[in-house]
């Protein structure tokens, strides 16, 4: 019997990978298993890593990569409040 298995597609993979893919191009906060946190624009999910554009200083930005094995969770930034904050 020759069984055909579907090829992995963009909607398949571990839950954290799927979550990361849904946040592509958005500002995210990333909690690492080390207890540290980072924030930036999620640019790419590839080869077991995420690539995040982060602000350094002045007008400088850099892309950092984090392996999924080091990531606790990923959260999209909330929307800004429309009412004035006092």
Structure tokens given for 19: 């979550």
**pTM given for the model:** 0.79
Helix (H, G, I), strand (E, B) or coil at 52: strand
Summarize pLDDT for 39-61 with one digit per residue, the tens.
999 999 999 999 999 999 999 99
d(CA 20, CA 76): 9
Does residue 5 or residue 84 have the better pLDDT? Answer: 84
Partner residues linked to 66 by β-bridges: 50
């Amino acid at each position: 019997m020759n069984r055909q298995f579907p090829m992995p597609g963009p909607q398949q993979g571990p839950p954290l990978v799927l979550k990361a893919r849904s946040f592509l191009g958005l500002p995210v906060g990333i909690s690492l298993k080390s207890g540290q946190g980072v924030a930036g624009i999620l640019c790419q999910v590839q080869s077991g890593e995420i690539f995040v554009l982060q602000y350094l200083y002045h007008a400088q930005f850099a892309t950092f990569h984090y392996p999924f094995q080091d990531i606790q969770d990923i959260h999209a930034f909330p929307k800004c409040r429309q009412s004035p904050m006092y």
